[in-house]
């Protein structure tokens, strides 16, 4: 049964959504373990949504420890077709200022040893990932930001998100290397979510909230958690307004997404040769195909 078509993953500073009504907490177990926290089902202006605090509501999970597969699987199980991620990021460009919002369209993966696929154990699939963010969902998010005319917040449409392992922030040499690659922002969480969402045929887009200039900027202090948190507090209210507006748009005009058929040509294994136990494990993801 579909509980919610829209999922929201809240990152650092966004552990709950104040505007959510008719709240129900659901503890979902998955074949990939427990999600970061209970998922919160509720309504935003009468539209059903599922909210998840990425690091847990008390921020107890490191980026490396995040149960990415369980989080996306749980969303899929609830019937989610669109995920909006809200994430804190550092800026790698002068013109992308703290408190600005970025809707990235590309990633560079600098993580290590994170499992980023549901496949294996007798089933092989290779999704297309050249455009890792759903363009149409990204446009809804960016248009929602633009429509709110938030004071002191500039919107940047598109950009490269470097996903690093953490938890320590980057060295200056690394930060300058990413700048030389023309990357726009840096964070520690979104790449795995985007990949797994694509495998689960869920459209995914990010609203990145800029909190700092990382450590490359000669006129700004190196990033600290204190700096991130201070800027997040001023941005968390704006983030919720953006989500509310985007959800309104999505409910009245749900966009098409290539993500929704991502597995159509991705699975190489003949389905009748996939072990029953694997089929069962992935049933929620493979339901259209088995």
Active site residues: 212, 214
189 interacts with ligand LNRAV4D5 by CB under 6 A: yes
Q: Tell me how many residues contact ligand LNRAV4D5 (CB under 6 A).
A: 13
Among 10, 35, 42, 90, binds ligand ADE (CB under 6 A): 90
**Which residue has 């507006």 as its token pair?**
245
Among 4, 8, 50, 88, binds ligand LNRAV4D5 (CB under 6 A): 88
State in angstroms the smallest separation of the CB of 267 from ligand LNRAV4D5.
30
Region of 60 please: left (phi>0), alpha (psi -120 to 50) or beta. Answer: alpha
Site string for ligand ADE, 220-239 (x = CB under 6 A): ---x----x-----------
Please state the separation of Cα 76 from the chain's center in Å. 14
Task: Choose from ligand ADE, ligand LNRAV4D5, none: what does 189 bind? Cβ within 5-8 Å by kind.
Answer: ligand LNRAV4D5
Stretch of residues binding ligand LNRAV4D5 (CB under 6 A), selected from 19-27, 111-119, 184-192, 241-249: 184-192
Please say which residue, 35 or 187, places its beta carbon nearer to ligand ADE.
187
Stretch of residues binding ligand ADE (CB under 6 A), selected from 19-27, 72-80, 183-191, 272-280: 183-191
State in angstroms the smallest separation of the CB of 21 from ligand LNRAV4D5.
24
214 interacts with ligand ADE by CB under 6 A: yes
Residues that bind ligand LNRAV4D5 (CB under 6 A): 11-12, 54-55, 63, 87-88, 166, 187-189, 225, 228
Q: Which residues bind ligand ADE (CB under 6 A)?
A: 88-90, 164, 169, 186-188, 211-212, 214, 223, 228
| Binding residue numbers for substrate | 188, 212-214
């Amino acid at each position: 049964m579909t509980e919610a078509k829209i999922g929201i993953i809240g990152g650092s500073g966004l552990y709950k959504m104040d505007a959510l009504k008719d709240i129900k907490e659901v503890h979902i177990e998955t074949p990939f373990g427990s999600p970061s926290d209970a998922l919160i089902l509720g309504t935003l202006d009468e539209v059903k949504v599922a909210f998840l605090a990425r690091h847990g509501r008390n921020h107890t999970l490191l980026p490396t420890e995040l149960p990415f597969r369980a989080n996306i699987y749980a969303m899929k199980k609830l019937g989610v077709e669109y995920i909006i991620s809200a994430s804190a990021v550092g800026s790698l460009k002068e013109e992308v200022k703290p408190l600005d919002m970025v809707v990235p369209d590309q990633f560079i993966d600098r993580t290590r040893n994170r499992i980023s696929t549901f496949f294996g154990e007798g089933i092989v699939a290779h999704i297309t990932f050249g455009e890792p963010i759903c363009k149409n969902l990204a446009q809804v998010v960016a248009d929602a930001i633009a429509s709110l005319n938030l004071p002191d917040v500039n919107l940047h449409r598109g950009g490269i998100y470097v996903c690093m392992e953490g938890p320590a922030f980057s060295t200056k040499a690394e930060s300058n290397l990413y700048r030389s690659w023309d990357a726009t922002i840096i964070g520690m969480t979104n790449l795995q979510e985007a990949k797994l969402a694509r495998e689960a045929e869920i459209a995914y887009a990010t609203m990145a909230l800029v909190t700092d200039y990382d450590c490359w900027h000669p006129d700004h202090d190196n990033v600290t958690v204190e700096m991130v948190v201070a800027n997040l507090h001023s941005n968390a209210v704006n983030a919720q307004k953006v989500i509310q507006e985007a959800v309104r748009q999505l409910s009245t005009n749900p966009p098409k997404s290539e993500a929704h058929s991502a597995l159509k040509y991705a699975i190489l294994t003949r389905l009748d040769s996939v072990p029953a136990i694997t089929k069962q494990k992935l049933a929620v993801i493979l339901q259209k195909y088995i």
